[in-house]
């Protein structure tokens, strides 16, 4: 299986190439995604000696996250997929973050601006893959959904900005939180490979970002 994967939901522009389990990755922090993503993809493909049409699918971070970043990512995914005749695999950017943190129970949060966070709760199954325990939401840090049980580990830009408020809200449920955690395409590729094998793809014209906020909320039709 050969997959191209990338995420532009946060300040990090990250792309990876999955070649039958081998992963190559590029990452730029605080970059202009529109300027860097395509050169990163081109470099990955050239390094591996793989053409775009030789891929099985393209996976992209569907959000939630930065409106501008998500539009750029979805637009590039659609353009590449249409040109190469490939299906797309939309993957939650919060799930990608949670997959990379490595804990059994993860509370992933992005800074949603306007004093809010994008929020998701995930548990890791027997195969080492994260699965959602609650629907992803946007909420004030002091009003995020309270997860069941304890031993949770937090992570993501939302924790970096609102860590104290989130700790006050969640109390004993949170064991600790990881500073500086961001979604990486290598982890997106892991989730996308499983989704692709399960047939969870969409045609390019149906691949849209998931914003969550009222007024711009869009539900993904497929994908983890």
Within this chain, do residues 68 and 113 fall inside the same structural domain, yes or no?
A: no
Determine, yes or no, domain membership for 221.
no
In a domain, 142, yes or no: yes
Average pLDDT over residues 64-70: 95
DSSP 3-state of 191: helix
Q: Please check whether residues 30 and 83 belong to one and the same domain.
A: yes
pLDDT of residue 221: 37
Percent of the chain with pLDDT over 70: 94
193: three-class secondary structure by DSSP: helix
pLDDT in tens, 109-121: 999 999 999 999 9
Give the range among 25-34, 109-118, 134-143 with minimum mean pLDDT.
Answer: 25-34
Query: Residue 81 domain-assigned?
Result: yes
Residue 83 lies in a domain: yes
What's the whole-number mean pLDDT along residues 206-220? 68
**Domain membership of residue 80 as a residue range:** 2-92+183-206
CATH number of the domain enclosing 100: 3.30.420.40
- Give me the residue label for tokens 């990512």: 73
pLDDT greater than 90 at residue 213: no
Please enumerate in sequence order all residues whose Cβ is within 8 A of that of 103, keeping only pairs 6 or more positions apart, or say none. Answer: 124, 152, 153
| Residue 217, domain member (yes or no) | no
């Amino acid at each position: 299986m050969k997959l191209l994967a990338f995420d532009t939901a946060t300040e990090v522009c990250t792309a990876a190439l999955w070649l039958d389990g081998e992963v190559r990755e590029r990452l730029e922090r605080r970059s202009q995604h529109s300027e860097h993503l395509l050169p990163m993809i081109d470099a990955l493909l050239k390094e591996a000696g793989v053409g775009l049409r030789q891929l099985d699918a393209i996976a992209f971070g569907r959000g939630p996250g930065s409106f501008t970043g998500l539009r750029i990512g979805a637009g590039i995914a659609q353009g590449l997929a249409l040109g190469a005749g490939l299906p797309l695999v939309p993957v939650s950017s919060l799930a990608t973050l949670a997959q990379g943190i490595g804990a059994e129970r993860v509370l992933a949060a992005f800074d949603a601006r306007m004093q809010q966070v994008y929020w998701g709760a995930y548990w890791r199954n027997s195969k080492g893959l994260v699965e959602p325990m609650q629907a992803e939401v946007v909420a004030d840090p002091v009003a995020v959904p309270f997860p069941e049980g304890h031993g949770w580990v937090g992570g993501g830009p939302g924790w970096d900005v609102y860590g104290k408020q989130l700790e006050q809200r969640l109390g004993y449920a949170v064991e600790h939180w990881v500073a500086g955690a961001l979604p990486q395409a290598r982890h997106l590729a892991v989730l996308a490979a499983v989704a692709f094998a399960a047939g969870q793809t969409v045609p390019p014209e149906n691949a849209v970002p998931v914003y969550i906020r009222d007024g711009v909320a869009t539900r993904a039709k497929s994908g983890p």
